Structure 1
Amino acid sequence: MAQQATPVRRARLGRALGPEPTAVSGVALLLPGGDEISGRRPSPLLATASVRAWGRRLARAGRDEGLATHVVHYRYRGWNGSEARLARDAEWAADEALRRYGDVPVCLAGVDMGGRAALRAAGHEAVNSVLAIAPWLPADDLAAPPEPVRQLAGRRVLIVHGTNDGRSDPELSFRLAARAKKANRDVCRFEVHSDGHGLHHYREEVAALVQDFVLGALFGQAFARPLEDALAAPPPLGLRMPLAVGFGKTLR
């Protein structure tokens, strides 16, 4: 009996969240979390749960602007060292957005390991902005090169991290932001005080921040005052900006 070839795993874009606009003028690609090492296929529902809620909010808020919002489904759950599989899938997704919608700006928006993928894949020609929420980053290691930041040049970059995150170290995202800020002034980072990895205590405020950043970066809308202040502030202030409890009330 002839052996059947093992099917090749492929990344894919989920269906557009919410009603897809008639004319697409910007794309938000949502990158779920993952594992440091794993060869397993992600569970479709569990893997995307962390990004779907604010993805649906983005889709509603940006529909009139022509925003298409998609969740990226990875080939594997693991980053897997130098293979950087999640970042490669993010790059593929940006290519796919260009194929589907033409020459439109793309925002890579990820949580946890998806935040690392968004930051790493930012050099793609279509990407104009990057959002990393509680990004998982490797610990500093003198024997290994630091996480790259040159690909962030020319992009708007927002990092959001809870100060009590027990899974991904907020100090590591501060250090990365500090290095990136030296070459790109459009980098800011908000700290959510006393919140953990899932940012559950200030979920509404984080969602408002996400909405304001993505719509502003993709469509040139004026940012709300907290984001304007954070982008304009020099380090370290602009990289340790506290997330105001009333942020959601300051939006237009």
Structure 2
Amino acid sequence: MAIRKIDDRESVPAGPGADARAVLSIVPASGETRGVALVLHGGRSKSFESVRGRHLSPARMLPFARALHNGGARDGLAVWTLRNRYRGWNGKDMSPVQDARWALSHISREHPGVPVYLLGHSMGGLTALCVADHPQVEAVVALAPWLDARTPVKPVAGRRILIVHGTMDRWTSPANSLAYARRADGVAKSVDYVALKGAGHFMFRRVGLWNSLANGFILDTFAARSGHDPRGGADAFRSLLPASAGLPVVL
């Protein structure tokens, strides 16, 4: 599996810690690229410390990226994993939003018109929902996202959305996530919300179900667009979350 990296400090706005770099790790599809999954990690409320590969937030997303590649690469799904410049959201700077838009601009240049699927955890879930208005984005998975009543739903208009939140999360609010899902219902193309009983913020408990839901949703959406069912991913996902599911689904 050949991994290509894009590392470009000049493509994102300068600021505190201006020597920090956003890094994209790209695992290509086998053959023609029919879709791109962009994986976004979590972080802190405020920090201009550079993100390192050894930090837990980006490392936590690597199994999701590997599973997406294993499930979709042979049918044309490329997987791009973003490592942000800074560990923090940083208030009005919204640093990870700047980085995610930089990543999306690279995807657009390399794969114009190809559908993009966003997968983010915690701060990365908030970021994914904020940048969903990019014209190539078709679906968003937000795992234990960091949301509040001010989080706008306009960016997800016309997109498929899945939010998964553990009922025992003490870092971000399951209630805020469910409230966001209800606000987005009727704005987004579809909204699914799953409450995982007994699961916390860092996805240690019921890890298999976190992965099955997140990756299955993206593979299901990709299958509907491409006409391929990557290794049964669509069927497996819909066995967990039927199309008739309401808000919330408790698993």
TM-score > 0.5, shorter chain as reference: yes
Structure 1: any 5+ residue segments left out of the alignment?
A: 1-5, 141-145, 244-252
**1:123-169 alpha-carbon deviations (Å, 9 max, x no partner):** 0011000000011124x5xxxxx110011111010000000001111
Structure 2: any 5+ residue segments left out of the alignment?
A: 1-16
TM superposition shift of 1:225 = 3.5
Equivalent position amino acid for 2:106 in 1: E
The equivalences for 1:203-222 within 5 A come to: 203-220=207-224, 221=229, 222=234
**Alignment partner, residue 248 of structure 1:** none
**Alignment partner, residue 247 of structure 1:** none
Runs of 4 or more above 6 Å deviation? none
**Alignment partner, residue 72 of structure 1:** 82
**Alignment partner, residue 12 of structure 2:** none
Secondary structure of 2:208's counterpart equals: helix
- Aligned residue pairs, count: 224
Which of 6, 10, 14 aligns to 2:25? It is 14
Distance 1:84 1:7 in 2: 15
**Alignment partner, residue 122 of structure 1:** 132
Q: CA RMSD in A?
A: 1.8
Q: Conserved in 2, the CA contact under 8 Å of 1:192 and 1:199?
A: no
The equivalences for 1:99-178 within 5 A come to: 99-138=109-148, 140=149, 146-178=150-182
**Alignment partner, residue 188 of structure 2:** 184
Equivalent position amino acid for 1:174 in 2: L
**Alignment partner, residue 87 of structure 1:** 97
Equivalent position amino acid for 1:51 in 2: M
Residue 226 in structure 1 maps to residue 230 in structure 2: no
Change (3 A) 1:111 1:100: same
**Alignment partner, residue 37 of structure 2:** 28
Q: Conserved in 2, the CA contact under 8 Å of 1:129 and 1:218?
A: no
Secondary structure of 1:210's counterpart equals: helix
Q: Rg: which structure is higher?
A: 1
Judge which range, 160-169 or 220-229, deviates more.
220-229
Q: Conserved in 1, the CA contact under 8 Å of 2:128 and 2:142?
A: yes
Q: Conserved in 2, the CA contact under 8 Å of 1:88 and 1:121?
A: no
**1:51-71 alpha-carbon deviations (Å, 9 max, x no partner):** 101210110010121111121
